[in-house]
Amino acid sequence: MTRPYRWMSALLLFLSGWMLLSMQSAKADALPVVSKAQSDCVVLLHGLRRSAWAMSRIEDSLTEAGYQVYNQDYPSTSAPVESLARQEIAQALDWCRQQDVARVHFVTHSMGGILVRSYLQEQSIPELGRVVMLAPPNHGSEVVDRMQDWWLFRKLTGPAGQQLGTGPEGIAARLRPVAGEIGVIAGTRTVDPWLSWIIPGEDDGKVSLPSTRLKEMRDYLEVPASHAFIMRKRAVIKQVLTFLQHGYFASLEVGSA
């Protein structure tokens, strides 16, 4: 395969992977009404070109466990990360506070974790609880480095997609450590072999394992999952619940279920 066709194939794999499971649904006219009996709220933030549906299994499990859960679509390709963070997290916090909660936790996938870190650069959350980040590009992605100048990539991923590289111009290089109990779960499998070829070392098809880490994280777990599906795996969701409840992940082998 010639180099131009090879890179075109890689770009299509990249975009199809991020678009997989997107199944965008229109926002409801009104946010769901929940009981005020529970004391904690969990905000779910999906990744780039995804939707609230991608986080629906986590939402169901958290609701069953007794949490009040905010899970809404947001226009991830419409604006830079900073603007998305200010708008979407502020709206989520308003909803949680209307439920008279004691603490607000976050569970994020991919770019969703960058939104939380960006918001905390400028704002404090007095009732901030714990944060679980699934496959976060905390130090950027080499895939973005290679593809951010491609017109199709720019068109389909928008301003935020341009910010997810590893270089000094990327948002990851500008984010300072944040306060809070943070747990990171990283995937070790890929469904994007061409993209994994771009990334040095172990990766999940979009992000390298070292890039997911944070100095300030409280716990870290590697699981046999790909970037596209990590948030849908039952065993990962159990680990999310464990961290929200205890502040650490279970010292058990995580299967692929």
pLDDT by residue (tens digit) across 36-48? 435 899 999 999 9
* Half-sphere CA count of 52, side-chain side, radius 13 A: 17
Residue 39's pLDDT is 83
Q: Are 251 and 243 in contact (CB under 8 A)?
A: no
What's the pLDDT tens digit per position in 158-193? 999 999 999 999 999 999 999 999 999 999 999 888
% of the chain residues with pLDDT over 70: 83
Q: Rounded mean pLDDT of the chain?
A: 87
Q: Which domains does the chain have, with CATH numbers?
A: 38-138+177-246 (3.40.50.1820)
Q: What pLDDT sits at residue 5?
A: 45
pLDDT in tens, 208-256: 999 999 999 999 999 999 999 999 999 999 999 999 999 999 975 544 4
pLDDT at 167: 94
Residue 35 predicted with pLDDT over 50:
no
Q: Name the DSSP letter for residue 74.
A: -
Element (H, E) at 64: helix 56-64
Q: Tens of pLDDT along 112-142?
A: 999 999 999 999 999 999 999 999 999 999 9
Query: In what side-by-side order are the strands of the sheet with 219-223?
Result: 68-71, 40-45, 103-109, 128-134, 181-187, 219-223
Question: Residues 167, 210, 130, CA angle at the centre, nearest 5°?
Answer: 100
Average pLDDT over residues 147-162: 92
User: What is the dihedral sign for C-alpha 137, 46, 225, 195?
Assistant: negative
Q: How many CA atoms lie within 13 A of 126 on its CB side?
A: 4
**Residue 30 clears pLDDT 60, i.e. is over it:** no
Within 10 angstroms of residue 244's Cβ, the number of other Cβ atoms is 23
Q: What is the pLDDT of residues 57-71, one digit of tens each?
A: 999 999 999 999 999
Does pLDDT of 34 surpass 80? Answer: no
Residues 6+ apart with CB under 8 A from 11: 147, 150, 152, 153
Task: State the pLDDT at residue 253.
Answer: 54
Virtual torsion, Cα 199, 24, 235, 67, nearest 10 deg: 130
Place of tokens 């895939």: 143
Task: Give the E-state strand segments of the chain in sequence order.
Answer: 40-45, 68-71, 103-109, 128-134, 181-187, 219-223
Tokens of 14: 């990249």
Find where tokens 């010639």 sit: 2
pLDDT for res 25: 37
Q: Model-level pTM?
A: 0.85
Instruction: Give the residue with greater pLDDT, 28 vs 58.
Output: 58
- Say if residue 149's pLDDT is above 50: yes
- CA distances, 186 to each of 163, 214, 239 (Å): 20, 12, 12
Rounded distance between C-alpha atoms, residue 209 and residue 197, angstroms: 14
pLDDT for position 192: 83
Task: Calculate the CA 94 to chain-centre distance.
Answer: 21
Q: How many angstroms separate the CA atoms of 111 and 116, rounded?
A: 9
pLDDT tens string 81-117: 999 999 999 999 999 999 989 999 999 999 999 999 9
Closest alpha carbon to 245 in 108, 52, 42, 99:
42
Q: Is the pLDDT of residue 17 over 60?
A: no
Q: Could you give phi then psi for residue 216, rounded to 5 degrees?
A: -90, 0
Locate all alpha helices (DSSP H) within 183-256, ordered by sequence.
193-198, 209-212, 234-246
